[in-house]
Amino acid sequence: MTGDRIDANFSSWLHAPAHHVWLQAEGLRLLSFAKAARVEQGFANLDAQGRLPADAVAETMNTARMTHSFAMAHVQGIPGCLELVEHGVAALLGPLRDAEHGGWFAVAEHRDGNTGKAAYLHAFVALAASSALQAGAAGAGQLLAQAVQIIDEYFWSEEEGALRESFARDWTDEEAYRGANSNMHGTEAFLALADATGETRWLERALRMVERLIHGHAADNGYGVIEHFDRQWQPQLDYNLANPADGFRPYGTTPGHAFEWARLVLHLEASLQRANYAAPDWLLHDAVGLFDAACRYAWNVDGAPGLVYTLDWQNKPVVRPRLHWVHAEASATAAALLKRTGEQRYEVWYRRFWDFIEVYFIDREQGSWHHELDVHNVPSATIWAGKPDLYHAYQAVCLPQIGLAPSLTAALAELSRLVPRT
């Protein structure tokens, strides 16, 4: 593969009408499967067959992600989705919210005993609120105001230019930890908040997070994203060494997050330009570095195609299963880099990732995508059980169809020429 621009004899899937039809059909299939996740208090996790387990309970993460995804579908003109968006908003305003201290529990009415408040979850609430507002959902403005208030009051650190990680229920006992993952999803949420509110301070905050975590720490580490830090932002390289396959805080570097960060960096660059800001030149350079490193060290590194979950500090595989969200982000980032640069090598990667997803991840029998494959690319469930996640896969089929700015739901609304109701 070369860095040459696409020549006249090389057609891009991004411009192929049949490819867009395929993406749209896959999106409808994903949405149809995910609707079964609805429960009284929000959205819960589906099993591999698309059924709700007997003990299913609403979770803030899944409810927020579903609300965001169904909002995207509604602004695209897909019938039946607005009611699901409003169900999600009502759940986030009701049983998932801490009416006494503010903020959101991880599980409805904290039935799991966990009453802590995590930046990661609150970023998704802000994203859901922003998308619900774009969809014109009842209650979205109230939810957005609450999410902004909590982020401003507790999570955003102006001194650090980043998000604090977590607190006890009453906002005491701040965790002595800083995480790249929560700040990555904070960046995503802040891009959406900038579009929902019209306030450029969210873009300025997103740039500060990217500058610290990517232009600083990741660039100094060969564009392997350092995930775990202490409260003073000193890297904690042995974090979770005894639990390397943790679903949220694994040991080592996570190539899927390198892809995700790369895409968000490009969205930030485009959003800054759209807002008439001078976007730093290093944004594109860093996005390319993240993508190249993830492809180099994670793809087909153990004799079988696919991207491994984690790497150690010598870029050797640690947790080898292939996760669906990693490949969804890889394909979306290849599309973003292709749009930004026009370089043929990103088209090659884009096709490679989608071919792999079609052959191994898409489940034509039971629906949705397998969430995990083992080292032989056979469906497994050592890290993630069932098929609870619509968010990554649905974004992957939507992102190739729009530009790099505004943020996803706003861009889809512009594309469909829908005007949010007041």
Residues with a known catalytic role: 257, 392
Dihedral (CA of 233, 238, 244, 246) sign: negative
Sort 370 into a burial class: Cβ within 10 Å, 0-12 / 13-18 / 19+.
buried
Site of tokens 């649905």: 394
Q: Which of 190, 319, 322 shows the shortest CA–CA distance to 265?
A: 190
Length of the chain: 422
- 96 and 58 Cβ atoms separated by less than 8 Å: yes
Cα separation, 123 vs 146, in Å, equals: 12
Cα separation, 220 vs 266, in Å, equals: 19
Cα separation, 95 vs 214, in Å, equals: 36
Neighbouring-strand partners of residue 162: 157
Cα separation, 333 vs 256, in Å, equals: 10
Q: Which of 217, 330, 214, 229 shows the shortest CA–CA distance to 268?
A: 214
Q: Which of 323, 328, 291 shows the shortest CA–CA distance to 310?
A: 323
Cα separation, 370 vs 386, in Å, equals: 8
Q: Which of 192, 185, 77, 190 shows the shortest CA–CA distance to 131?
A: 192
Q: Which amino acid would we find at residue 299?
A: W
